[in-house]
Amino acid sequence: MKVAIIGNGIAGITAARWIRKLSDSTEITVISEEGDYFFSRTALMYIYMGHMRLQDTQPYENWFWEKNRINLLKGRVETVDFNNKTLKIKDNSDFVYDKLIIATGSKSNKFGWAGQDLDGVHGLYHLQDLAAMERHTATGINRAVVVGGGLIGIEMAEMFHSRHIPVTFLVRENSFWDNILPAEESAMINRHINEHGIDLRLGTEMDSIVDENNDGKLDALQIKNGEKLPCQFVGLTVGVSPNIDFLKNTPLSINKGIKVNNYLETNQLDVYAIGDCVELETPQAGRRPIEAIWYTGKMMGETVAYNIVGKKVQYNPGIWFNSAKFFDIEYQVYGDIRATKPDEHETIYWEHAEGKHAIRINFDRNTEGVVGFNLMGIRYRHEVCEKWIKEGTKVETVLQNLGLANFDPEFYKEYEQEVVNIYNQKFNKSLQLKTKRGLNAVTRFLKAAF
Amino acid sequence: MQVEQSLSLANPSPIHTTVRQKIGLSAVTIGFLMFLVAFFSGQDAANWSPVLYFALMAGLIIGGAVVFIRDEYIGKPEGIKNNSVYFHNLSSREALIGLLVSLFGWLGLTQLPAFGMGSFTSWNAYYVLQLAVAAYFGNKTFRRETLSQMSARGLGAWMLGIFLTGFYVVLYWYGEKMVSLIAIFDPLSKLVSNSPADKWFVYGTLYTAGVLVMGYKFALKYKHNRYQLIRTASVSFFQLGFAFLIPSFLKMMNEPDYYFTYFWPLKTDPLKPDGINYIVQSSSHGIGWYFIAFSAFMTFAGVPILTYFYGKRWYCSWVCGCGGLAETVGDPFRQLSDKSLGAWKFERWMIHSVLVFVTIMTALLWINSAYQGAVLGDLSHGFSKTYGFLIGSIFSGVVGTGFYPILGSRGWCRFGCPQAAILGIFQRKKSKFRITTNGSQCISCGNCSTYCEMGIDVRAYAQRGQDVVRASCVGCGICAAVCPRGVLRLENGDLDIDERTEAVRAIHVKDGMLEVDNSFSL
């Protein structure tokens, strides 16, 4: 069997690795035009910041692919002939597959602004975007403007800041990422962005990007109903969307992304799609149809490998979780924490006096079961939080054993009793923390049968 | 689309240096030049006032360093400070070529007399060559960057790399050339040990000062991380107290200069026949046997017990002097360790060979002692001498520390130290210690692996949700610190002690469903 995988990101590479694990005889070819070897896209920022080199972001050594008989083909797939199971590859001969996995990832959004295609205007998704950032800023520039207050936007702001390039950060919302983060956490990040000396403009939108010298290169950014900011680079970080333009006008069923069922099958025989480029027809409760996240790509890659080798497995990402880092503040979320909580949820929020650590626990008013955890500047254990949420453990049980979840390094101060105190105050109770941080208690807790 | 190969690395960003920092660096440079003058001046030190010279030199170096370090970290938001690490000349492999050229140059030049070119004394020639190499590469570095990007940090640090290997070579084999340097350390030696300085006192003082000053830097860099602060306080304490002051004090009391923090096989003397004789006989209060007993206890009981509870780290990154130097002076170089599978294989062969070597050597010495030389003749002493030269001098000193800018900060600890080999076997086989990974939060970014000074590919474990149980891990905790997603935690626990390596916490397909694989717990 010949399997072709378009895309060597986390989804495509995970699929290739798992197919090899499950089947020794399958011929596997991964086609990509982006880079020679798989690298961690999430680490691109660290290359620009000088924390790592490109090779440090590659999780497998270069001999790995040949040893595991995973063929890497550098090239751009221009079209797919689904009827004849053939890939047309630019400057290369046609490739005939038995089964195809499409894992082409995302592309940065552009919403038709004037000047969005000027030289010096870039998103950050591909390796080529990083090269462009480097090319335009290596010799030092006077100002960069980042448009869009999401995860990539704040990364880009941090990247420029690390190079001592002054940054103006335009955020359309009135507080950073306030469509995802509850108000307190969002405010914490606003403060932190300002602490780093970033020119944060909340509630501000871009009007256009201006090329005053008519040389094809940007000179300034015009704010809607506002000033014109002279700058030499504009980062467009207003989200990403499935990278599937080359599949338009083919029989493949597409909406915003490639439509797949829970077995990650498309409407074409023997064609599967995984990762960022996918739109699930029936996502699980609490999950969105398109989720451009590292770990969902990984899970889909593993799931599709089983289906490719003939073992039917449904994609099931389980309880929501995610993480990020906003400059120096780490963020983790487990379960259902929304910017505006629904009425049936109750919340307990503790914040450190210095305003850089916070713990939020939400639970259901009626069942008293915990539904989610939000952590700022504090690390919690994935498995413990997940088990509590999955089992709908009562909030008071969770609070008394909250130390089980703490994953901060040894000697770090533990704040769980303070969280319990907040609950006691709010509900006029007198609970005490019973379990503190420590591995043995966690092992015992996780070993107890579900 | 073509990717530009340069990405960030060919174009270092400007390194911001404040005026105060420049003054600090200048002070360090002048102090360092004073050190070099004393070092080079052979026997012409008669006219100096050693106290003044020493005070001025130490004051300039330490004071300047502290000024520089404070401006680097104080008043900045707390967090990981690895910006531009790969842009600095100091920590990049630029220094590699210069070091290798100078080292091989030295080896070559020592052979000159054999070719009838004995008019150079080899050690002077070595420095002439080194200065030429330094000037050449320094100049190259200077031209590669624009003037604004050039900082004293780059060049000054580059010189440090050259200097370190040269220093070890002189220390071990040309110690008699250091007369004037030893002379200016004499007053301090008299103060702390009431005896004249020798080359080992000079070395010990420099070593301790390095750990303390760079430990201060490390502590400011990781001020948000209590594990790092306490650990750094610990290595500083053990270096200053147990590796510097106590041995000096023992000397003052006419006792052998015994080290409470080094045991067989890292320090072989207390468990070697002639070493035992020396310690016992040179103890003027008859307490030599207590030292021997302590050494034996630590080797056979202390090491395994403490390693069972806390892992190798209780020693390697909390107590040991080599580890202390690596964690402080060596911190800027930690990312240079080789993470390849090949390096891991080489490491296992190498370090266990050294352990076998030292064990055979010790056994031979005891056999020789038991039969009073009747069986082995001079073989055991020859063996012992070879070990001392190859492992004790070249490996632990010249390569181990001198090659910081090449192998990273733990070259000796990783490839050579027989104590680390033993601690590693216990850690791997029976210890509560491991680095736990946090479910499926890993994004495979590579910060953990990059900043692992022992060259462990931490990411390989983290991304599949497997706890890290590796013989070489010294438990420095930096992988957990630099992780941007809160994935790693150093922990001790005994409930699952025999299943530590099996835990796979990432989400995997199981029984036809995708779910967290809890197989480790069932």
| Residue B420 backbone phi and psi in degrees, to 5 | -60, -35
Count of CB pairs separated by less than 8 Å, A with B: 222
A17 in Cβ contact with A309 (< 8 Å):
no
Q: Among positive and negative, which fits the CA dihedral A71, A76, A81, A82?
A: positive
Distance from CA of A352 to the nearest CA of B (A): 14
A330 in Cβ contact with A188 (< 8 Å):
no
Judging contacts by C-beta atoms under 8 Å, the chain A residues touching residue B497 are none
CA distances from B260 to A166, A423, B285, B388 (A): 53, 51, 17, 20
- Cα separation of B466 and B99, whole Å? 39
DSSP state string for B166-195: HHHHHHHH-GGGGHHHHHHHHHHHHHHHSS
Residue A444 has pLDDT above 50, yes or no: yes
Would the CB atoms of A318 and B227 count as touching at under 8 Å?
A: no
Judging contacts by C-beta atoms under 8 Å, the chain B residues touching residue A64 are none
Which pLDDT belongs to residue B113? 45
For testing contact with chain B, the best of A410, A414, A437, A447 (most B CBs within 10 A)? A410
Better pLDDT: B409 or A60: A60
**Pick from A46, A139, A196: CB nearest B77:** A196
Q: Is the peptide bond before B265 cis (omega within 30 degrees of 0)?
A: yes
Q: Which two three-digit tokens encode residue B5? A: 């190969």
How many angstroms separate the most distant Cα atoms in chain A? 73
CA distances from B140 to B6, B66, B131 (A): 19, 29, 14
Would the CB atoms of B9 and A43 count as touching at under 8 Å?
A: no
| Residue A6 backbone phi and psi in degrees, to 5 | -95, 115
Residue B295 burial (C-beta neighbours within 10 Å; 0-12, 13-18, 19+): buried
Buried b (16+ CB within 10 A) or exposed e, A403-416: bbbbbbbbebeebb
Which pLDDT belongs to residue A390? 94
- Cα separation of A96 and B132, whole Å? 61
Q: Which two three-digit tokens encode residue A72? A: 């890497």
Would the CB atoms of B83 and A379 count as touching at under 8 Å?
A: no
Better pLDDT: A170 or B373: A170
Q: Which residue of A has its CA nearest to B515?
A: A318
A328 Cβ under 8 Å from any chain B Cβ: yes
- Cα separation of B470 and B456, whole Å? 8
Give the number of residues written for chain A.
450
Which pLDDT belongs to residue B43? 52
For testing contact with chain A, the best of B9, B448, B500, B514 (most A CBs within 10 A)? B514
- Cα separation of B520 and A448, whole Å? 12
A364 Cβ under 8 Å from any chain B Cβ: no
Nearest to B317 by CA among B165, B489, B474, B142: B474
**Pick from B4, B13, B489: CB nearest A164:** B13
B404 in Cβ contact with B330 (< 8 Å):
yes
Distance from CA of B494 to the nearest CA of A (A): 7
If you search the block for the tokens 């053990």, which residue do you land on?
B238
B240 in Cβ contact with B208 (< 8 Å):
yes
| Residue A323 backbone phi and psi in degrees, to 5 | -155, 160
**Pick from A58, A298, A439: CB nearest B491:** A439
DSSP state string for A292-320: --HHHHHHHHHHHHHHHTT--------S-
Would the CB atoms of B77 and A195 count as touching at under 8 Å?
A: yes
Q: Which two three-digit tokens encode residue B21? A: 């920092």
For testing contact with chain B, the best of A382, A404, A444, A445 (most B CBs within 10 A)? A382
| Residue B240 backbone phi and psi in degrees, to 5 | -65, -45
B150 in Cβ contact with B139 (< 8 Å):
no
Q: Among positive and negative, which fits the CA dihedral B163, B164, B167, B168?
A: negative
Which pLDDT belongs to residue B338? 92
Distance from CA of B92 to the nearest CA of A (A): 11
**Pick from B14, B446, B512: CB nearest A56:** B446
- The three-state secondary structure class of B199 is helix
**Pick from A134, A382, A413: CB nearest B6:** A134
Judging contacts by C-beta atoms under 8 Å, the chain B residues touching residue A311 are 512
Judging contacts by C-beta atoms under 8 Å, the chain A residues touching residue B519 are none
For testing contact with chain B, the best of A14, A17, A51, A291 (most B CBs within 10 A)? A51
Residue A444 burial (C-beta neighbours within 10 Å; 0-12, 13-18, 19+): middle
Residue A74 has pLDDT above 80, yes or no: yes
Residue A28 has pLDDT above 80, yes or no: yes
pLDDT digits 0-9 by tens, A341-390: 999 999 999 999 999 999 999 999 999 999 999 999 999 999 999 999 99
- Cα separation of A243 and B511, whole Å? 33
Distance from CA of B380 to the nearest CA of A (A): 44
Q: Which two three-digit tokens encode residue B72? A: 């680097």
**Pick from B78, B447, B505: CB nearest A52:** B447
Would the CB atoms of A130 and B515 count as touching at under 8 Å?
A: no
Q: Which residue of A has its CA nearest to B450?
A: A56
Tell me the pLDDT of chain A averaged across its residues: 96
A183 in Cβ contact with A173 (< 8 Å):
no
Q: Which residue of B has its CA nearest to A160?
A: B13
**Neighbouring C-alpha atoms within 13 Å toward the C-beta of A406:** 25
β-strand pairing of A77-81 with A233-236: unpaired
Distance from CA of A180 to the nearest CA of B (A): 18
A433 Cβ under 8 Å from any chain B Cβ: no
Mean pLDDT per 10-residue section of chain B, whose length is 522 residues: 44 60 78 76 61 91 92 90 70 50 51 43 50 47 31 47 78 83 92 93 95 97 97 98 95 91 92 91 90 96 97 98 95 90 96 95 90 76 84 81 80 95 96 94 97 97 93 98 98 90 67 46 28
The rounded Cα A233 to chain-centroid distance in angstroms is 24
For testing contact with chain A, the best of B443, B504, B518, B522 (most A CBs within 10 A)? B443
pLDDT digits 0-9 by tens, B273-315: 989 999 999 998 889 999 999 999 999 999 999 999 999 999 9
- The three-state secondary structure class of A78 is strand
- DSSP state, B436? E
The strand pairing partners of A260, in sequence order, are A280
Other beta carbons within 10 angstroms of residue B24's beta carbon come to 24
The strand pairing partners of B516, in sequence order, are B507
In this prediction, residues A96-116 reach a mean pLDDT of 97
In this prediction, residues A146-167 reach a mean pLDDT of 95
- Which residues 196-225 on chain A approach chain B with CB closer than 8 angstroms? 196
- Cα separation of A308 and A11, whole Å? 14
B177 in Cβ contact with B123 (< 8 Å):
yes
What angle is formed at CA B362 by the lines to CA B360 and CA B366, rounded to 5 degrees?
Answer: 115
How many angstroms separate the most distant Cα atoms in chain B? 85
pLDDT over 90 for what percent of chain B?
51
Judging contacts by C-beta atoms under 8 Å, the chain A residues touching residue B491 are 410, 439
H or E element that contains A225 = none
**Pick from A56, A318, A332: CB nearest B486:** A332
- Which residues 286-315 on chain A approach chain B with CB closer than 8 angstroms? 294-295, 298-299, 302-303, 306, 311-315
DSSP state string for B100-111: HHHHHHHHHHHT
Judging contacts by C-beta atoms under 8 Å, the chain A residues touching residue B509 are 302-303, 306, 313
Nearest to A38 by CA among A46, A26, A30: A30
**Pick from A50, A327, A382: CB nearest B439:** A382
DSSP state string for A132-161: HHHHHHTT--S-EEEE--SHHHHHHHHHHH
In this prediction, residues A289-304 reach a mean pLDDT of 96
A194 in Cβ contact with A200 (< 8 Å):
yes
| Residue B390 backbone phi and psi in degrees, to 5 | -70, -50
CA distances from A26 to A15, A22, A88, A210, A308 (A): 12, 9, 21, 53, 10
Q: Which residue of B has its CA nearest to A49?
A: B83
Would the CB atoms of B505 and A48 count as touching at under 8 Å?
A: no
A392 Cβ under 8 Å from any chain B Cβ: no
